[in-house]
Amino acid sequence: MTYIDFKIVQAAGERLSEQISILRELKEELTLAEYKIRDMAYMDETIYLLRKSRDELQEEMDILRCMAQCLEEGGALYKKTEQGIADTYDLEKIVYPKTVFGTSHISGLDGYENLLAFHI
């Protein structure tokens, strides 16, 4: 059975934010190194490699930001959906039991059958 633990999704979003911060620090270090050696002789290739690394870090940061944004939007949708269900059934909070779906039966819904749109 597959289910989503929302706390894990939140933790993943936080870890992505931490990774973005680390990459930002690395990018700043590369920029500082480039600044320090820009006037030195025979450093053209090194400066090129620093800029290339900085651009690659920026790409990684952009990808991580997109991933974090997806997690945030998914979390917001989850909360909105949960709140809509709670409002519909006049509940404070819904606790979903671990449910097993078989080919011909559904088990593990003891006491929650009335929340279904169909009857078992």
Q: CA-CA distance, 9 to 70, in Å (whole number)?
A: 10
Structure-block tokens of residue 59: 């790409």
CA neighbor of 6 nearest in space, from 31, 14, 47: 14
Q: What is the pLDDT along the chain (120 residues), one digit of tens a residue?
A: 456 677 888 888 889 999 999 999 999 999 999 999 988 989 999 999 999 999 999 999 999 999 999 988 888 888 888 778 777 777 666 566 665 555 555 666 666 666 665 555
pTM: 0.63
- Sign for the CA dihedral angle at 69, 66, 6, 14 comes to negative
What local confidence, expressed as pLDDT, does residue 47 receive?
93
Domain boundary assignment for the chain: 6-90
Strand partners of residue 61: none
